Amino acid sequence: MQSSFWHGLRDLGALRLMLFTGAVLCVLLRPAPGTAAVFSGWAMVPTLIAPICTPLIIAVLGLDAMMARVMMTDSEHGPPARYRLAIRLDLLFVIVLIAWWLPYFRAIGE
């Protein structure tokens, strides 16, 4: 099971793995809700860049899930299991990102 999981991840491709890595980085870099923005230095990454990139990554994950579904219907582009895994991981990361970042974006709105 473990080797098939890693084999499945490898079959997803470099672009999807980079997208998933970006999603994981957005989860790790979320500042505490109510944190003031920092406009210089490395502190700018979690306070400005991560909040900007997170909605973009959520949108791209949704688009990737949609395109994987389209590709899954066409049997010439590879086994459907590859695309099923991509869709599941895309939607899992979307749910995690929304749940994790929702308190931060609500604090901005208050």
Q: List, for residues 5-24, the tens digit of each pLDDT value.
A: 666 677 888 899 999 999 99
Specify the DSSP class assigned to residue 36.
P
Specify the DSSP class assigned to residue 75.
G
d(CA 99, CA 48): 19
Q: Does 75 have pLDDT greater than 70?
A: no
pLDDT of res. 51: 94
Q: What is the pLDDT of residues 11-63, one digit of tens each?
A: 888 899 999 999 999 999 999 988 888 999 999 999 999 999 999 999 999 99
Decide: 35 and 60 in contact? Cβ < 8 Å.
no
Whole-model pTM: value is: 0.86
d(CA 32, CA 104): 7
